[in-house]
Amino acid sequence: MADGGPPVKKARLTKQWFEENLCAIQTPEEVVPELATKFGDIPEETLRGATFTEVKDMLHEVTDAKKREQVGEASAVLQRLDDLQKGQQDLRNRVLELRPNTDLTATPATRADHRRQTAQVLRLDEGDETVLPSTVLKALAKAKSEAEVNAAMEAFLQTLKPEHFLVNCEHFDWTANVGTCDFFASRCYVERQLKDQKKQRKGTLYGIPALLDSVSAVYEGKLKLMPRDEDQIFKQLNATTATHGLLYDKNGFTLLQVAGQQGQEKALQKIWYGRWNSKGVKQLFQEQFRDEPFQEELLGKCLASSNTQMLGFLGKGGNGRVFAVKRGRQKMALKILKSKSDAELEVGAMQKAYEAKLPVVQPLGAAVQVVENGSYFLMKPVGQQVTKEFARRNVPRILNTLHKLHEAGHVHGDARIQNMIIGPRNQLLWVDFLQTRGPLDESKIQDIKMLCRSLGVPANTLDKCTDFSPTNKDFQHWVQEHLQREQ
pLDDT in tens, 358-379: 999 999 999 999 999 999 999 9
Does residue 19 or residue 158 have the better pLDDT?
A: 158
- Give pLDDT tens digits for 112-149: 777 778 889 999 988 887 889 999 999 999 999 999 99
Number of C-beta neighbours around residue 339 at 10 A: 16
Report the pLDDT value the prediction gives residue 227, as an integer from 0 to 100.
80
Report the pLDDT value the prediction gives residue 27, as an integer from 0 to 100.
46
The chain-wide mean pLDDT, for the chain, equals 83
- Strands, sheet with 120-123, edge to edge from the N-terminal-most edge strand: 120-123, 267-275, 252-259, 244-248, 217-221, 183-186, 165-168, 205-209, 189-191
Give the three-state DSSP class for 100.
Answer: coil
The amino acid occupying position 240 is T
Least confident of 82-86, 196-200, 262-266, 386-390: 82-86
Q: Determine what percent of the chain is predicted with pLDDT higher than 70.
A: 80
Q: What is the dihedral of CA 437, 443, 445, 447, to 10 degrees?
A: -80
Buried b / exposed e across 439-453, counting CB within 10 Å, b at 16+?
A: eeeeebebbbbbbbb
Query: Is residue 335 marked as binding?
Result: yes
- Give pLDDT tens digits for 301-341: 999 999 999 999 988 877 789 999 999 999 999 999 999 99
* Tally of CA atoms within 13 A in the half-sphere of 15 that contains its CB: 11
Does residue 55 or residue 155 have the better pLDDT?
A: 155
The long-range contacts involving 40-46, CB below 8 angstroms and separated by at least 24 positions, are 41/65
